[in-house]
Amino acid sequence: MSTPIDPAAVVAAFIDAVAPYDPHPEAMPVAMVGVRTALGEGTFAVSDHVIRAMCKALAAYRDPEDRGACVGCGGRHLDENLHCPDCGRLHGILGQVIADHARRVAAEDAS
């Protein structure tokens, strides 16, 4: 099991990493962000610069588990083999090879 991450410490670290580049550090904060968990808590005054940095970080983030959506059912849980556990469809080259093989076997059985 991995070590728990303190969400308040993560927010504080993000603000500390971004704040030195704020072109208007004297500006009033635009929001107060509060985080309270079993691991810690914190309240942070954040500037427009920090909020914009959060927006850019979120837009650039790609979850390693995101393998796209199933073209059959629209599910978002394709596994590492591009198999959809919701409807059973296989995607990608593996899925195409298996589907082609299944069609050939079905055609042979029908003849």
Longest dimension (CA), the chain: 80
What type of residue is 42?
Answer: G
If 0-12 CB within 10 Å is exposed, 13-18 middle and 19+ buried, where does residue 50 land? buried
Q: What is the pLDDT of residue 39?
A: 86
> DSSP per residue over 15-35, as a string?
HHHHGGG-S-TTSPPSEEEEE
Nearest CA to 39 out of 1, 4, 12 is that of 4
Q: Is it the case that residue 55 has pLDDT exceeding 70?
A: yes
Percent of the chain topping pLDDT 90: 59
Q: Is it the case that residue 71 has pLDDT exceeding 80?
A: yes
Which of 95 and 32 is assigned the larger pLDDT? 32
Residue 89: CB atoms within 10 Å: 17
Q: Residue 90 gets which letter from DSSP?
A: B
* pLDDT per residue as tens digits for the range 3-54: 888 999 999 999 999 999 999 999 999 999 999 998 888 999 999 999 999 9
The CA-based dihedral angle spanning residues 90, 93, 99, 102, taken in that order and rounded to the nearest 10 degrees: -120
User: What is the rounded average pLDDT of the residues 66-95?
Assistant: 88
Rounded distance between C-alpha atoms, residue 103 and residue 85, angstroms: 21
Which of 63 and 98 is assigned the larger pLDDT? 63
